[in-house]
Structures are given as C-alpha cells and as structure tokens.
C-alpha cells in the first residue's frame, strides 16, 4: 500500500528495493485488491482495446500490453499472428509471470507465449535475464508479421526487443508516401522494413546501412518475402558511413534516420544530444535540394521540444533552410495516458530542405 506524507492511502504498488523507482503503481483505487484475477483482467482489457486494429484486416500484429499505459507496469506483450512475445522488466511484473502467461495464452487464437525478458533494464531491478517458452508450442521459425500488404520476418528468439519494431507502423506508411522516384538512404536500417516499403513504392535507388550483418541478412530475406529489390545492403558504423558519403559528395532525396535509444535517463541527455546533432548534421549535408529527412528519437528522456531544438541546431552549420512538414509518433497500440506522459518515448520529424 502507498500512503502520502499525510497518511492518506493512495493505492497499491509493486515495491523494489533494488530499483531507483522504488514503487510502481498498479492501481490508485485503495479498495481494489491486486491479485491473480486483477492482473489477468488488466491483460484481457488491454488486449480488447486493440481488437479493432487486429480485426480491421490491415495487420495481424500489434502491441497488446504497453506497461504503465495499460495499468500493468513493466509488462510488454506483442502479438504476431498466433504468437505473443512478452517482456517483463520490473520486479512487480516478474512476480506475476505465471498469471500473465496464463492470461496471454487464454486470448483468442493464441498458440504460443514466449518470453524475451533479456533487456538491460532488468539489471537495475536486481533481476537476471529470462528467455524461453512460457506457454504453448515453440514459435515458428518462419514467423512473419503481416502489415498493410507487406510481410516482415519476426525473429522471436534473437531479434531486438520482441522480434520486430511494431512502434514504427505509422512511420512505414509515411515512408511509402515519400519514397516514389527518390534516391533513398536508410541509416540504422536493422532488418530493412523501411527499405521494403520504399522499394515497393518505386524508389529510384536504395542504400541501407546497419552495423549488424545478421540484421542485414534478415533484410535481404524481407526483400524476398515481399518480392522487391532491396538495393545495396551495407554493413558498417553509421557515423563512419555517413561521413564517407559526405566526403564523396553523394546526395539523396530521402534519408531515414532511426537510431537506437541514445539516452536511458536524463543524466545521459547531454551526450545523446550531441550524438543526435552529429547524425542529423551529416544527414542534412547529404540531402539533395528538395530532399526529405525523416528523423527519430526513441529515447524517452528526450522530449519532442528538445529533439526539435537539437535537429534545428544540426541544420544551422550547413546553412540549409529546413522546414518541418510533419511529425511522427508511436501508433495507437502504444497509447500515452494523460496522467503518464512518460509513455510517449517515440518522436519523429519530417523535414524538407531547400
């Protein structure tokens, strides 16, 4: 039970003495009992809120549970067809592992629940990694996410996060709008979902850069799954590669800049801001006249306001006039409660350079 300094009852929370966040609220209703039935009901309700997205025919893949945004702190569950991949990142979530697994496998059409609780954040909760099958049969080796007519390979056991970045669904639609006829550079391309869309929508040329050879191999597979020519898939460090392209005076009409999280806390914001500025400075220099830059930050500690200031600073040095023509956010299955704005971690800008 959580009480105020005045002794008033505020609700119930999971307590973790190992974490910098000592208590994570499960409910602000003092009379509610947090038990097996409560936890299972939270999961069922969260999944029901996504039923419209999954029944609309555009996709069979969505985030079913989004941690505090769904009243289940530390629990993330992503669905790919009949397979659910979950991450439990807090002590409170870890406590309810079996209940959560039962609730997830009980959802209609679910055959597999697999755990990928191997994020570094578990160490800050005093927890070790947990990876493996929780319920049902082993995930299919050829599991794919279907989205807007595209097919993307999902690496449940070895991919980033839960195997695919569902949070960039709206961004993939945006890429499709800007790609036709453009020379496209996709940096931090991972498994090439943006490249697949750009290729299918008629990009003039494609260069994808990522530091992971296995990720690029999956990108090639995604090209085959969608019967598109992926262009050049180049393995290398993003900063080094961008500098090399700049030194060779290459230009692109559409640049996609989606780096991994660069700031895990406010204490890392200054260093992260410098990195974001360097990346966007290089990208702006590579833009052809009239070129478009789609740039993102997935660092929750960085607000949209700060990110915009950092990118604006990056555009000053090359003396380019760059205009914001759109903003990108996480999709509807990654909701942001008004009482918990910290859930808004993904932010993006659509920029056009003179």
For the chain, domain boundaries: 34-144, 165-353
Q: How many CB atoms lie within 10 A of CB 3?
A: 11
pLDDT > 70: what percent of the chain? 100
**SS3 state at 258:** coil
User: pLDDT tens-digit profile of 203-246?
Assistant: 999 999 999 999 999 999 999 999 999 999 999 999 999 999 99
Residue 294 has pLDDT above 90, yes or no: yes
Catalytic sites, residue numbers:
298
Question: Structurally, what CATH architecture does the domain formed by 165-353 represent?
Answer: 3-Layer(aba) Sandwich (3.40)
Contact (Cβ atoms closer than 8 angstroms) between residue 302 and residue 318: no
Q: How high is the mean pLDDT of the chain?
A: 95
Which of 310, 253, 237, 257 is closest to 287 using CA atoms?
253
Answering whether pTM is above 0.85, one says yes
To the question of domain 34-144 being in CATH 3.30.750.80, the answer is yes
pLDDT at 113: 98
């Amino acid at each position: 039970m959580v009480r105020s300094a005045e002794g008033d009852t505020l609700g119930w929370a999971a307590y973790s003495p190992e974490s910098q966040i000592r208590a994570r609220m499960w409910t602000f209703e003092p009379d509610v009992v947090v038990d097996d039935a409560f936890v299972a009901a939270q999961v069922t309700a969260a999944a029901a809120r996504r039923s419209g997205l999954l029944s609309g025919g555009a996709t069979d893949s969505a985030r079913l549970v989004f941690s505090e945004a769904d009243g289940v702190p530390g629990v993330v569950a992503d669905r790919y067809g009949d397979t659910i991949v979950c991450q439990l990142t807090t002590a409170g979530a870890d406590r309810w592992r079996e209940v959560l697994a039962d609730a997830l496998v009980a959802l209609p059409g679910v055959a597999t629940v697999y755990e990928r609780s191997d994020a570094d954040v578990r160490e800050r909760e005093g927890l070790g990694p947990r990876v493996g099958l929780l319920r049902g049969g082993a995930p299919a080796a050829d599991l794919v996410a279907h989205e807007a007519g595209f097919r993307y390979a999902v690496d449940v056991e070895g991919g980033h996060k839960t195997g695919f970045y569902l949070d960039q669904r709206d961004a993939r639609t945006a890429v499709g709008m800007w790609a036709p006829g453009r020379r496209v550079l996709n940096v931090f391309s991972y498994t090439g979902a943006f490249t697949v869309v750009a290729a299918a929508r008629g990009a003039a040329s494609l260069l994808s850069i990522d530091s992971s050879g296995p990720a690029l191999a999956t990108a090639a597979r995604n090209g085959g799954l969608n019967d598109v020519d992926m262009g050049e898939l180049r393995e290398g460090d993003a900063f080094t590669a961008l500098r090399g392209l700049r030194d060779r005076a290459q230009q692109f009409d559409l640049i996609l800049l989606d780096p991994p999280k660069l700031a895990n806390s406010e204490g890392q914001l200054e260093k992260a801001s410098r990195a974001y500025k360097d990346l966007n400075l290089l990208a702006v220099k590579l833009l052809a006249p009239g070129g478009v830059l789609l740039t993102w930050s997935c660092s929750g500690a960085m607000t949209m306001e700060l990110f915009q200031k950092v990118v604006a600073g990056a555009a000053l040095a090359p003396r380019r006039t760059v205009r914001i023509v759109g903003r990108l956010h996480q999709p509807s299955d990654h909701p942001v409660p008004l009482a918990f704005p910290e859930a808004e971690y993904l932010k993006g800008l659509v920029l056009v350079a003179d």
